[in-house]
Amino acid sequence: MFGTTLSGADISTLVHVIVAFFIAGTLLFQWRAIHPAVSAAAGAEKVRETIRSHWAPVMRIGMVLLIGTGVYQLMVLGMPKAELQKSSEAAGLSYHMLFGIKFLLAMAILFIGNAMVGKSAALASIREKAPMWLGLACAMVIAVIVISRHLAEMPA
Ligand code: HEM
């Protein structure tokens, strides 16, 4: 991945992966630790609101960084790979198709992560069924990482 100097794509990938692992890790932690603990605690509403107000800005900054670095990586890493794939008529799954699936899954994960820290009544039903949605988000994270690693290994 790295040459003697760090390129823009190297730095973007590092930021992308670091943020992705933090965001994904906290979804698992919310599912298996925070939600059960808060639900059982006295004064659950107050604890929940304290966590929510501290975590919401981090979640939002993480989302902007992930989408920003992801779009940049698509331009500088993904497009050339997709072009090469077209011109070489190589067998295998299409870069665009895999990226499309990854993108939709990533958006669904970020949507669930944001719903957890949101206040809108429209998304209250997602927060009420948090264990189910967080579990689903964790399963989607696994799929996103498998696809992303495959994209990263495709010939450039
Ligand atoms: C939950 C959200 C996300 C996770 C967990 C995630 C995870 C990853 C991981 C692990 C890599 C592999 C890096 C490597 O091994 O070199 C990667 C690469 C990449 N991601 Fe994401 N990502 C997420 C969201 C996004 C979004 C929203 C976009 C697009 C807007 C995006 C676009 C990309 C691109 C284009 C690459 C480079 C693929 C290549 O090297 O050809 N990602 N991501």
Pocket perturbation via mutation, ligand 1, pick of 73, 84, 96 by most ligand atoms within 8 A of CB: 73
In a domain, 116, yes or no: yes
Q: Which sign, positive or negative, has the C-alpha torsion 30, 34, 36, 40?
A: negative
| Ligand 1 neighbourhood includes 19 CB (under 6 angstroms) | no
Q: Indicate whether 87 pLDDT > 70.
A: yes
If one counts the domains in the chain, the total is 1
Q: Residue 58: give the domain boundaries.
A: 8-153
| Ligand 1 neighbourhood includes 109 CB (under 6 angstroms) | yes
Q: Compute, in angstroms, the gap from residue 112 CA to the centroid of ligand 1.
A: 18
Q: Compute, in angstroms, the gap from residue 7 CA to the centroid of ligand 1.
A: 17
pLDDT digits (tens, 9 = 90+) for 6-53: 999 999 999 999 999 999 999 999 999 999 999 998 999 999 999 999
Give the model's pLDDT for residue 14: 97
Length of the chain: 156
Cα–Cα distance between 20 and 91 in angstroms, integer? 30
In a domain, 3, yes or no: no
pLDDT digits (tens, 9 = 90+) for 61-80: 999 999 999 999 999 999 99
For the whole model, what pTM was predicted? 0.94
